[in-house]
Structure 1
């Protein structure tokens, strides 16, 4: 990417000689350019919470897929990436909230949706989505995401997601679960059922920020960049997407993620918008029971997951 830099305020691409960002007018500070591949992550410190934080750093960015590849090594199945076309309409609906799974359709928005609510952007149970992932360190491949709820799951769990990767004829899966609170949505990794992390906040509006603070690895700061965006992923056009910038100080890079109503995160790119990290390539309705079976298979702790306010 040469000597290009990116505005810390809006993520726009800048040149080394620029003093102000041409996109938003922000004064540019001297900083290092975006580096590929990822810098080496900090070494573990030996306490039980560090493992969960490391998992957090990869899952909040890529939905968990990077975890598979980091465990299994480099994947050779690199596919061609489809083109992306996002049209911002800056629309912000103020209607009442609708939970995932209630009359929502892929790529469409019901008048009942409230685009300011975090819950609107959770995936709907009963669907399987396919993603192409292409990480800056060279790892690439295909991931399948199943959205559902386990049988007899705690009522506080709105939806669970499992991401499955196949390598050398063998499947590997990883699960996480979403709950909602008064201030927004949170998720819990199935591997660490008693730890909870922020996902999206309620009262969403352009410029709204929230953060996760960790004294060992550094902070992660999320900022709403846009709302009401139409995103064409080639196989389907998704309406009223939420666009969120994530500044991950621990991994030392910035990503831009798109969330669609009823579909969860559907696309993730670098700050320049030129490099796709995580992109949905297909989505199909498979039914509640089939999705449920995937939760049972890959989430051994799903019955332990609950919205414990002491977390």
Structure 2
């Protein structure tokens, strides 16, 4: 009987040990917290969907767990219905950030979270709303030849507006250094584009109406800039000089818009264009395309040819106005005509 009691006690102890190990295992499992929730489209986007649009699938959306300084600790893909879950093995403060296709907008795009014994933000769902798409395009700048350093570029700081069919402003942006523009967080529908700049002549070629479907929109090239200004000044002993001629040449630009005619500097071939300084001593060439140029001054009085220095200046026109910072200087020569 004593032996049977010993076996009974041994079995009880073994059972207790197994229960203890199981409890410890469960406790360890419970210590692993996780952050989860859903990604869903906003009500405005859902209303804009057409019956022919494909079913929303969020499986290409990534959700990341990041440290406060931006280090990615873990990431996961959403399920097709938008559900996601990221296990978190360390307690502390983190950031949950959503990453979708370029041009998609989110509200919010990241959420700070605290992981402690109560879970991730108290085990609340951390949800993200998909709110809109992008409409992008470009204002194209005039290019004169291969000497242009940016043959696919355009002017910066052009104001591009997105209007609804009634003419009300939806959004406005300024073009980048390459002439590109992009409107974000836009709901599918019909819109009108308008571009303007205080100092640039912008031509419209094609329709300014845009129909945005359920996806990002790329606008055809419809806004074009005919060219840019080259300006400078000329003085004699710091006094402005009227009537100095300036002739514009280039090795590869064959033609520019020149209402005042081309002409030619003495001893040179026919210029692309010429300009004359005004009473303030300033001169300007307008609508000059991107490219490399040479500017030659020439000044002749009634009986005297004047020396102008420097005798020539290299001018590079990018997709912006070019100003010659150095003033031309007029000096009299002892040449009688």
Superposition TM-score, scaled by structure 1 size: 0.20
Superposition TM-score, scaled by structure 2 size: 0.19
Higher RCO, Cα 8 Å, sep 6+: 1
Greater strand proportion: 2
Larger radius of gyration: 2
